Amino acid sequence: MEKADPLISVSEDKCEHCFACIRVCPTKALKMGSDGDVPQLMPERCIGCGHCVTACYPGAITYRDDKDKVRELIASDRKTAAIVDPAISGEFHDITDYRKFVEMIRSLGFDYVSEIAFGVDIVARQYKELFENFRGKYYISANCPAVVRYVEKFHPVLVDNIAPIVSPMIATTKIMRKKYGGDIRVVAIGPCIAAKQDALRYIGGSKVDAVLTFVELRQLFEEEDIQEAKLEYSEFDRPLGNLGSLYPLSNGWVQAAGLSESLIDGKLITAEGQRDMMDAIFQFKDKVNFIRRNMNLFYNEGCLMGPGTSRGGEKFVRRTLVTDYVNKRLKSLSVSRWEESMQEYLQLDYSRGFSRDDQRLPEPSEEKIREILKSIGQEDSTTEMSCQVCGFRSCRDFAIAVSKGIAKPQMCHTFATRQSSQHIYSLQQTNKKLEETQKALEESEKNARQEQQVAKEASQRATTMLKKLPSAVVIVDEKLKILESNEQFVEIMGDQAKEINEVIPGLVGADLKSMLNYNVHNLFSFVLKNNEDIMNRDVKLGDRLFNMSVFVINKDKIAGAVLRDMYKPEVRKEEVIRRVTDVIDDNLNMVQQMGYLLGENASVIEKKLHTIIESFEKDDHQGGGKPERKRDNHKDTGKQKEKGSS
C-alpha cells in the first residue's frame, strides 16, 4: 500500500473536549488521551467511515486534503482525467444543469471528465454473474471501502466472503487507462472519505492518483473563481453510464445489475447506516446458513450522505435530485452504443483480493467485566441494552471496551452524572456533619472545656505537621472516604481537588475512587480487605511516576498511604534516596500511630509528633542543611515530654 499522511487528524486548538467523536466511532479508533484531554487516534483501527468528522461540529477533526496534490497533477505534462461519482447530482443542487457542472470541472484544468456511473454498470454485471452462478457460498458486497476495511480488521474470518470485485471507482480507473493510455493521471471525485485510503491499495492500471471529496471540489471552485454563470455547456466524455447513475442509492447498483429484490425469492439483502451494517455483518457471521442471502452493505445511507458531502444535506431531497438527474440522462442515452461500450470494456479484469488485518483485542475475563460494571453502577443490570450514549450497544460492551483500554468510565453519561451527584451529596453531608459536630462540641465545651481545648490544639498540631511533611499522605476509611490528607496529596490530585480543598481542608469525606484510577485505588481496597501492607509500589498518576506505600492503620477500618514523586531531582540522586528512605520509614510509623491516636489519645500524638520533628531536624543538620533550631519545652498534663531520637 502506498504511504500517505494520516487519513484523520485531530486539532488540539479546536477541540472542545465534548468527546462526541469517541462516542460515534464504530471501531473506537479514537480514545481519551492519557490526561483525559484531546482524543487520540489509533490509525490502525480506523476504517475511514468519517463518522467522527461529521460529529465534530467545532471542526477539530479533519481528513487528508488532496487539493494541492490535484493541482500538481493538473500542472504536470501528462493528461489528467476526472472520474465523477453520480452522487454529485445530489450534492450540487445549486447547479441548474449537469452539463454546466461538467464544464466547471474541465475549467479546473482536467483534460477528460467521465462518469463513474459506467464503472457501476460494469461492476453490476460482475455481481449479477457472481450471484446468479450460485455455488453454495454467500457474499458481502465490496462497493463500500469502509465496509471492506471493517470486515478485514474486525471480522477477518469473513474476508473470504467479501465479493472479489473491485469498486466502481477502480473499475472506472481501469477503463480510463485502457482508453487514454497507461500514463494518464486519474483523480476520483466523490462523497467518500474511505475512498482516499482505498485508492492507496492499487498500483499499475488500477491506480487512482488522488481522491477529492465534494467539499474539496467546492473549495477548488471557490479558490479558482469558477462559476456556473460564466461557462457554457459540456457533456461527459464517453463511455456514458446507464442505470449505474443510481449508485448513490444503496440499492441503485442492484437495479443496474437487474438482480431481484423480491422479499419472497430475492437472494440479496440491502442494509445501510452504521448500526444496520454492523448488525448485518454480525448476523451474517453467525447465522448466514439460516439467512441464506448475500449482503449489499453501505456504511453511510448510501453515498448520498457520505462524510465528504456538505453539512446539512437532506437525504430525501438529495434522493429526488439523483432520480431526476437519472431520468434526464436516460432520455438521451443511446442504449445500443452503451451496450457496445459494455462489451468492449467487460474484457478487462475486475477481480481483486483482500487481506486480514486483525485489530481485535483479547477478550477480558468475566470477573473483570463484572468488576467494571460494578464500578459504573451497572452490576445488577439484567439486560444487554443501555442508553447507548457512550456509543456502545450495551453496558456490557462498554465494560469490555473499558477493560481493553479503548474506553473510559467517564464516557458513561449515567456514571458521570451519578458520580457528580454523589460527590455533591457527599460534600453536603460532610458539611452537615461538620455543623452538627460543631454544635456538639460547643455543647460539650461547657462540661469539658479544658480537655477539649487540649485535644483541639493537639489535633491542629497533628494536622499542621501532616500537611508539612515532604511526602504526600492520605488516610482513608473502609469505604475509601478520605479522613485526612496533606497539601502534597492535594497538589498531586490536581485543580479540582484544590477547589474542594478550599471548601473542605484535607479533602475530608471525598471519595478516593473518584480521584484515583482503578488500579491505584484498588491497592487501598486490597490492604483493607487483607490487612496486609503494600510497600514501595511504583504507580503512574497521569504522566507522573510515584513510589507508593499503603499500610494498615486500624484493622479493616483505616488505611494510610505515602507517595513520593519519583521525578523530583532530589529523589533521583542515589545518596539522597538513601536519606529520604530513612525519613519515609519514620513517616510511615508516625502516620500509623497518628491515625490510631487521633481517635484515642491526643496527648500521645503530640509526643510522637515532636519525636518526628527532632528526627527530621537532626537529619537536616547532619546532611549539611540549616542548624537545628531550638524547640520550646511545653508541659503536657504535668509530665515532661520525652526527647526524640534520630
Q: At residue 576, does pLDDT exceed 80?
A: no
pLDDT digits (tens, 9 = 90+) for 380-435: 554 455 555 555 666 777 777 776 666 666 666 566 566 666 667 677 777 788 87
C-alpha cell, 91: 450534492
pLDDT of amino acid 593: 67
What is the C-alpha radius of gyration for the chain, rounded to an integer number of angstroms? 35
C-alpha cell, 78: 501528462
Spatial contact of 401 and 29, defined as CB atoms under 8 Å apart: no
Spatial contact of 86 and 61, defined as CB atoms under 8 Å apart: no
Whole-angstrom distance, CA of residue 245 vs CA of residue 325:
8
Whole-angstrom distance, CA of residue 473 vs CA of residue 43:
41
pLDDT of amino acid 458: 64
Q: What is the pTM of this model?
A: 0.62
Angle CA(452)–CA(458)–CA(459) in degrees, nearest 5?
85
Query: Residue 566 contacts by C-beta under 8 Å, 6 or more apart in sequence?
Result: 538, 544, 545, 546, 547, 572
* Domain formed by 1-64, architecture: 2-Layer Sandwich (3.30)
CA 30 remoteness from chain centre = 3
Q: At residue 555, does pLDDT exceed 70?
A: yes
> In the chain, what are the domain boundaries?
1-64, 65-345, 364-411, 455-622
pLDDT of amino acid 485: 87
Q: What is the average per-residue pLDDT within 144-163?
A: 96
What type of residue sits at position 42? M
* Domain formed by 455-622, architecture: 2-Layer Sandwich (3.30)
Question: Which of 110-119, 479-488, 574-583 shows the lowest per-residue confidence on average (mean pLDDT)?
Answer: 574-583
pLDDT digits (tens, 9 = 90+) for 493-547: 888 888 888 888 888 898 988 888 888 888 999 999 999 999 888 888 877 888 8
pLDDT of amino acid 413: 56
- The overall average pLDDT reported for the chain is 83
Q: 417-440: b or e for each residue (b if 16 or more CB lie within 10 Å)?
A: eebeeebeebbeebeeeeeeeeee
pLDDT of amino acid 603: 56
Class of domain 65-345: alpha beta
What is the SS3 string spanning 514-564?
Answer: HCCCHHHHHHHHHHHHHCCCEEEEEEEECCEEEEEEEEEEECCCEEEEEEE
Q: At residue 73, does pLDDT exceed 90?
A: yes
Question: Which of 104-108, 229-233, 573-577, 585-589 shows the lowest per-residue confidence on average (mean pLDDT)?
Answer: 573-577
More confident residue, 192 or 395: 192
Spatial contact of 127 and 141, defined as CB atoms under 8 Å apart: yes
Question: Which of 352-356, 554-558, 594-598 shows the lowest per-residue confidence on average (mean pLDDT)?
Answer: 594-598
pLDDT of amino acid 178: 95
Measured on CA atoms in the order 113, 117, 118, 122, is the torsion positive or negative?
Answer: positive
210 band by pLDDT with thresholds 50, 70 and 90: very high
- Residue 363 gets which letter from DSSP? P
Q: What is the average per-residue pLDDT within 609-617?
A: 59
Spatial contact of 202 and 208, defined as CB atoms under 8 Å apart: yes
pLDDT of amino acid 158: 97
Q: At residue 241, does pLDDT exceed 70?
A: yes
Spatial contact of 503 and 496, defined as CB atoms under 8 Å apart: no
More confident residue, 416 or 234: 234
Q: At residue 324, does pLDDT exceed 60?
A: yes
H helix count then E strand count, the chain:
23, 15
Whole-angstrom distance, CA of residue 370 vs CA of residue 380:
10
pLDDT of amino acid 243: 95
